[in-house]
């Protein structure tokens, strides 16, 4: 689903900016 892909990319970018792991930003999105 495109929305899921976009959401993951945004979470990863936010995680990079904050210096955190994506799982910390959005625990439900971890693969």
- The pLDDT tens digits for 1-31 are 999 999 999 999 999 999 999 888 888 875 5
What's the total number of domains in the chain?
Answer: 1
- Both structure tokens of 19: 């210096």
Domain that residue 2 falls in: 1-31
CA distance 9 to 17: 12
2/22 Cα distance (integer angstroms): 18
With the CA atoms of 10, 8, 23 and 16 taken in that order, what torsion angle do they form, in degrees rounded to the nearest 10?
Answer: -40
pLDDT of residue 31: 57
**C-alpha to C-alpha distance for 4 and 18, rounded to whole angstroms:** 21
pTM score of the predicted model:
0.70
């Amino acid at each position: 689903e495109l929305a899921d892909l976009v959401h993951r990319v945004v979470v990863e970018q936010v995680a990079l900016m904050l210096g955190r792991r994506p799982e910390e930003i959005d625990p439900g999105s971890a693969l």
